[in-house]
A and B are shown apart, each in its own frame.
Chain A
Amino acid sequence: MALQETRNTNPKNLIPGATGDWEMVIGLEVHAQVASRSKLFSGASTAFGGEPNENVSLVDAAMPGMLPVVNEECIRQAIRTGLGLKARINKRSVFARKNYFYPDLPQGYQISQYDQPIVGEGTIVVEVGPDRDGRFEEVRVGIERLHLEQDAGKSLHDQHPTMSYVDLNRSGVALMEIVSKPDMRSADEAKAYISKLRTILRYLGTSDADMEKGNLRADINVSVRRPGEPFGTRCEIKNVNSIRFAGQAIEYEARRQIGILEDGGTIDQETRLFDPGRGETRSMRSKEEAHDYRYFPDPDLLPITFDDAYVEAIAATLPELPDAKRARFQAEYGLSAYDADVLVSEREVANYFEAVARGRDGKQAANWVINELLGALNRTGHAIEATPVFAHQLGELIDLIADGTISGKIAKDVFEILLSEGGEPRRIVEERGLKQVTDTGAIERLVDEVVAANPDKVEQARAKPTMIGWFVGQVMKASQGKANPQAVNALLKARLGIE
């Protein structure tokens, strides 16, 4: 594969070294577990967390004479993902055997795809940022290919003093390997890429992309070069299972390579491992030790073929994807790029937002969802699917602000009640007497009290009208937050003679 330069050097991405600037070049191979009930070539369950070797068929254990039968659902998921990556769908693809010995690889080969993958070139648009000025940079990262392959089992080395045990539950589970072009130039871009890819996969429902369960893992290729020079020698960092680690591994690896080059050394092409404990990468095997996988087409499996109609039928079921949704949110609800980006990062959050925003002020809905709801979920460690405050409750709360029943401040208190106790916002307001005081007589009395008690402040406010804010705060406090702030403001101005 000839690597193509696709980007102009952005000075922002350069790393200053002792001898001048350096630029990183990053490409990723992301392994995402396909969302499917059964494995790629057997009927065994893909359920997570079973007893060791609970979900193992005769095929998964590579019993003699057992043959793989492709699970069509996995094919559909791969096509779906390819469509989501705006990639070329190959109507004919071939499964190939990747041969190597390992105890958790029962067949002695992994069934994968080699020179004829199911999905070809595509693109992911990644928003990197925001920078200090709140701006996002749009980076287009090319997709080289997506192919299907089997996951391996797991070796357990801590069960017996001298032996290792093997758990084949994962053996044969379908993975999509999504290979990017070497289009990323910073750790932030790589992190944003993984994050965006994860978002797309979740939108599509083709992978839960849960990195904690190991359902999304990245092999990261890193090299460095002087700006404008050809690509340098790369090292591959295997099996990174968090976005944060990916960033750390890239930063470390780039600095390691720069250090070697600046000392007059050369980079050896090799496979490395990231040690999150030490925050460094370590050599795993050199190019010379690299396996010769002896790929060849798997004679047990016919080529995968389908027609345009098959692809079109899948395309017709595709959901609105994050890029389109973000653009629509900005246009339809007048949201900032940042807010729209936060809201579309998870499909369920976007759906929640839309349920709240429908028929209401979009910006206000976005503020409530982002600042209050997501903030609260973040604090409590709940996923959006497990939110204690439902969209109709939040919507009702916003309506209560809009019609002047409560102030924004009281609304936040009500939100806390919803969070901890649940209930209907309107009823909570009524039962707890939180209704805003709009009775001017009552407010006037409070204004009078505050003004009378603070003659010195009155003098200051007349000289400096912004001081009125202090008075508003005092009156609100005296009303236990229930006074209508606009009314307080108007009455104070009149009372103090401020225009």
Chain B
Amino acid sequence: MSELTALTIAGIREGLRRKDFSAVELTEAYLAAIERFNQAFNAYVAVTPERALEMAGESDRRIAEGEARALEGVPLGIKDLFCTKGIHSQAASHVLDGFKPPYESTVTANLWRDGGVMLGKLNMDEFAMGSSNETSYYGPVVNPWRRRGGNAQLVPGGSSGGSAAAVAAHLCAGATATDTGGSIRQPAAFTGTVGIKPTYGRCSRRGIVAFASSLDQAGPIARTVRDAAIMLRTMASVDPKDTTSADVEVPDYEAAIGESVKGLRIGIPREYRVDGMPEEIEKLWQAGMDWYRAAGAELVEISLPHTKYALPAYYIVAPAEASSNLARYDGVRYGLRVPGDDIVDMYEKTRAAGFGREVKRRVLIGTYVLSAGYYDAYYLRAQKVRTLIKRDFEEAFQAGIDAILTPATPSSAFGIGEKAGGDPVEMYLNDIFTVTVNMAGLPGIAVPAGLDPAGLPLGLQLIGRPFDEATLFRAAQVIEDSAGSFTPEAWW
């Protein structure tokens, strides 16, 4: 890791301002790092050096003219789920082979508008379906973290595993990610990075390949709370081309950082103390509570009684929407086409070859739960559960809770292949602390809070009121200040 790639986004901003280095130099450092190390992680599925250098050149011109923008010259990695004009945008799926959209997602357009530099597209679980980045058509992503004294390859979490690994391994300064059930927060927790899933509607979904429309939300993965705040401010916007995006003013999140949390009421939900929770997770959570108490916040035990239904309900709603959202990948207009004897044969062959196992599983589950005769028992009931989960949170916030503190994941990163073979539910349990937040449409941030006995990072999660990401950044900074930051020891 060179010194330049070790800089945070805030550090880059300062360095460029002071002209310690140029944006082109910085980008070149990142491109060199990707060139040398990407094969160790498989984080990038496409690198765009020409585009990156061109954008960095423009940044240098702007800086020279004193017209630097909010993210001027910051080298970013983009999850492959985001459509980027003329560039590989395939959701890490075989079915989108060769797809280069003639349009740009709103979130990435916002980043480029503010001076961000695109390094390339990041690996992910196929169609964002997975918690380990093992479902990608491009193969698994390797976590830069290893167990102390071991050399087993670990997963970076998923689905935004490429984003988290690239940020942790300093192959980009920050990355876009998306979160449908935990896909930002879980990989952030597994890699010692900061990831925030903002309120549903905060970021436009336009140009992001849809997984589950009512749950999908874009957010950043970055190395510090401040960096995440800088990125989210740019990524968030109301978009007339996504009517589920919200017309709520985007505040200067960075300004909230450093504000005291004195008097802040932090809820501790008793239902998150799940059976068989590893001791280190329990200890981590306790440490978090101690830090807040020390910082003058008030801890309040709360109840979110419908939490236990969240995961099963999520695995009905998300596949249901996915089964419909993925119907457009039929081989007719773009991506993969496997010829067949007739149209139905072509559909079947294309989709059989184009989708991986996990995607197929979810399309099947989703198709089943929406079928005549099962809709009421599954989909409708899951939506009712969703309403109840939402109400649980609303009641907590109405009672004066400002943010809710929970573990981010039930464990630290596990080995590649360790959970991929058997019961899918074992994998799904990774999302146990995060799916409720998506079901309720709330913002949630994962912040690294410590290491487990094997030396792997663990994260805590803060859940906030709708559109109150500012409070999450303010509160998350307390964890970062107390726990310090975590960088993997380079083995690559």
Q: B21: CB under 8 A from chain A? A: no
User: Which chain A residues lie closer than 8 Å to B241 at the CB level?
Assistant: 67, 69
Greatest chain A CB density within 10 A among B89, B105, B207, B324 is at B324
User: Which chain A residues lie closer than 8 Å to B82 at the CB level?
Assistant: 65
Q: B258: CB under 8 A from chain A? A: no
Residue of A nearest to B208 (CB): A65
User: Which chain B residues lie closer than 8 Å to A275 at the CB level?
Assistant: none
Since A65-B209, A302-B244 are in contact, a sample of 16 more A-B pairs with Cβ atoms closer than 8 Å, ordered by chain A residue number, is A64-B91, A64-B209, A65-B101, A65-B208, A66-B206, A66-B207, A69-B242, A99-B324, A103-B332, A106-B328, A107-B327, A109-B327, A296-B320, A296-B379, A298-B213, A300-B210
**Cα distance, A302 to B205, chains bound together (Å):** 14
CB distance from B391 to the nearest CB of A (A): 19
Greatest chain B CB density within 10 A among A107, A109, A164, A300 is at A300
- Do A67 and B328 touch (CB < 8 A)? no
CB distance from B346 to the nearest CB of A (A): 9
Stretch from B219-227, B275-283, B364-372 at the A interface: B364-372
User: Which chain B residues lie closer than 8 Å to A101 at the CB level?
Assistant: 327, 330, 344, 347
Closest 6 CB pairs of A and B: A108-B327, A299-B214, A299-B213, A294-B370, A62-B328, A65-B207
User: How many chain-A residues does the 8 Å CB contact rule pick out?
Assistant: 29
Which residue numbers of A lie inside 8 Å of B, CB to CB? 58, 61-67, 69-70, 97, 99, 101, 103, 106-109, 164, 166, 292, 294-296, 298-302
User: Which chain A residues lie closer than 8 Å to B375 at the CB level?
Assistant: 294-296
- Do A103 and B343 touch (CB < 8 A)? yes
**Cα distance, A299 to B324, chains bound together (Å):** 10
Contact with A along B318-333 (1 / 0, CB 8 A): 0011011011101011
**Cα distance, A294 to B374, chains bound together (Å):** 10
- Do A108 and B103 touch (CB < 8 A)? no
User: Which chain B residues lie closer than 8 Å to A292 at the CB level?
Assistant: 371-372
Which listed residue (B99, B243, B372) contacts A64, Cβ 8 A?
Answer: B99
Which listed residue (A58, A109, A164) contacts B103, Cβ 8 A?
Answer: A58
**Cα distance, A61 to B344, chains bound together (Å):** 19
CB distance from B420 to the nearest CB of A (A): 26
**Cα distance, A126 to B133, chains bound together (Å):** 63
**Cα distance, A299 to B439, chains bound together (Å):** 13
30 A-B residue pairs with Cβ-Cβ distance under 8 Å, sorted by A, are: A58-B102, A62-B333, A63-B101, A63-B334, A64-B209, A65-B209, A65-B210, A66-B103, A67-B205, A67-B206, A67-B242, A69-B243, A99-B324, A99-B370, A101-B344, A101-B347, A103-B343, A106-B328, A107-B327, A108-B327, A109-B324, A294-B370, A296-B379, A299-B214, A299-B244, A300-B210, A300-B213, A300-B243, A301-B243, A301-B244
User: Which chain A residues lie closer than 8 Å to B83 at the CB level?
Assistant: 64-65
**Cα distance, A65 to B240, chains bound together (Å):** 14
User: Which chain A residues lie closer than 8 Å to B244 at the CB level?
Assistant: 67, 299-302
Which listed residue (B206, B207, B328, B343) contacts A108, Cβ 8 A?
Answer: B328
Q: B154: CB under 8 A from chain A? A: no
Q: B472: CB under 8 A from chain A? A: no
Greatest chain B CB density within 10 A among A61, A65, A99 is at A65
Residue of A nearest to B380 (CB): A296
User: Which chain B residues lie closer than 8 Å to A64 at the CB level?
Assistant: 83, 89, 91, 96, 99, 101, 209-210, 328, 334
**Cα distance, A294 to B371, chains bound together (Å):** 5
**Cα distance, A107 to B205, chains bound together (Å):** 17
Contact with A along B51-83 (1 / 0, CB 8 A): 000000000000000000000000000000011
Name B128-174 residues within 8 Å CB distance of A. none
CB distance from B378 to the nearest CB of A (A): 11
User: Which chain B residues lie closer than 8 Å to A106 at the CB level?
Assistant: 328, 332-333
User: Which chain B residues lie closer than 8 Å to A109 at the CB level?
Assistant: 324, 327
User: Which chain A residues lie closer than 8 Å to B330 at the CB level?
Assistant: 101, 103, 108
User: How many chain-B residues does the 8 Å CB contact rule pick out?
Assistant: 44
Q: Taking chain A's interface residues, is the majority helix, strand, or loop, or is none over half, making it mixed?
A: loop
- Do A65 and B332 touch (CB < 8 A)? no
- Do A294 and B324 touch (CB < 8 A)? yes
User: Which chain B residues lie closer than 8 Å to A108 at the CB level?
Assistant: 324, 326-328, 330
**Cα distance, A67 to B245, chains bound together (Å):** 11
**Cα distance, A299 to B332, chains bound together (Å):** 24
**Cα distance, A494 to B375, chains bound together (Å):** 92
**Cα distance, A66 to B239, chains bound together (Å):** 12
Contact with A along B381-412 (1 / 0, CB 8 A): 00000000000000000000000000000000
**Cα distance, A231 to B244, chains bound together (Å):** 44
CB distance from B93 to the nearest CB of A (A): 10
Q: B212: CB under 8 A from chain A? A: yes
**Cα distance, A69 to B321, chains bound together (Å):** 18
**Cα distance, A300 to B332, chains bound together (Å):** 23
User: Which chain A residues lie closer than 8 Å to B321 at the CB level?
Assistant: 296, 299
- Do B243 and A296 touch (CB < 8 A)? no
**Cα distance, A58 to B370, chains bound together (Å):** 27
**Cα distance, A64 to B96, chains bound together (Å):** 9
CB distance from A46 to the nearest CB of B (A): 19
Residue of A nearest to B321 (CB): A299
Contacts known (A99-B370, A296-B370); A70 close to B243, Cβ less than 8 A: yes
User: Which chain A residues lie closer than 8 Å to B344 at the CB level?
Assistant: 101
CB distance from A442 to the nearest CB of B (A): 80
**Cα distance, A296 to B367, chains bound together (Å):** 11
**Cα distance, A66 to B101, chains bound together (Å):** 11
Residue of A nearest to B96 (CB): A64
**Cα distance, A294 to B243, chains bound together (Å):** 23
CB distance from A298 to the nearest CB of B (A): 8
**Cα distance, A70 to B213, chains bound together (Å):** 16
- Do A97 and B324 touch (CB < 8 A)? yes
User: Which chain B residues lie closer than 8 Å to A302 at the CB level?
Assistant: 243-244
Name B207-253 residues within 8 Å CB distance of A. 207-210, 212-214, 240-244
User: Which chain B residues lie closer than 8 Å to A62 at the CB level?
Assistant: 328, 333
User: Which chain A residues lie closer than 8 Å to B212 at the CB level?
Assistant: 299
CB distance from B397 to the nearest CB of A (A): 22
- Do B207 and A99 touch (CB < 8 A)? no
Residue of B nearest to A107 (CB): B328
Residue of A nearest to B368 (CB): A294
User: Which chain A residues lie closer than 8 Å to B343 at the CB level?
Assistant: 103, 164
CB distance from A72 to the nearest CB of B (A): 11
User: Which chain A residues lie closer than 8 Å to B205 at the CB level?
Assistant: 65, 67
- Do A65 and B367 touch (CB < 8 A)? no
**Cα distance, A378 to B402, chains bound together (Å):** 75
**Cα distance, A228 to B99, chains bound together (Å):** 62
User: Which chain A residues lie closer than 8 Å to B334 at the CB level?
Assistant: 63-64
CB distance from B14 to the nearest CB of A (A): 35
CB distance from A395 to the nearest CB of B (A): 51
User: Which chain A residues lie closer than 8 Å to B209 at the CB level?
Assistant: 64-65
Residue of A nearest to B320 (CB): A296
Residue of B nearest to A155 (CB): B343
CB distance from A172 to the nearest CB of B (A): 13
**Cα distance, A237 to B477, chains bound together (Å):** 66
**Cα distance, A107 to B326, chains bound together (Å):** 8
**Cα distance, A103 to B241, chains bound together (Å):** 25
Residue of A nearest to B331 (CB): A103
**Cα distance, A107 to B213, chains bound together (Å):** 14
CB distance from A196 to the nearest CB of B (A): 35
**Cα distance, A382 to B176, chains bound together (Å):** 62
**Cα distance, A292 to B374, chains bound together (Å):** 11
- Do A65 and B206 touch (CB < 8 A)? yes
Residue of B nearest to A294 (CB): B370
**Cα distance, A106 to B334, chains bound together (Å):** 11
Residue of B nearest to A108 (CB): B327
- Do B214 and A69 touch (CB < 8 A)? no
**Cα distance, A109 to B379, chains bound together (Å):** 18
- Do B333 and A294 touch (CB < 8 A)? no
**Cα distance, A301 to B210, chains bound together (Å):** 14
User: Which chain B residues lie closer than 8 Å to A63 at the CB level?
Assistant: 101, 103, 333-334
**Cα distance, A299 to B370, chains bound together (Å):** 14
**Cα distance, A300 to B242, chains bound together (Å):** 8
**Cα distance, A66 to B214, chains bound together (Å):** 14
Residue of A nearest to B83 (CB): A65
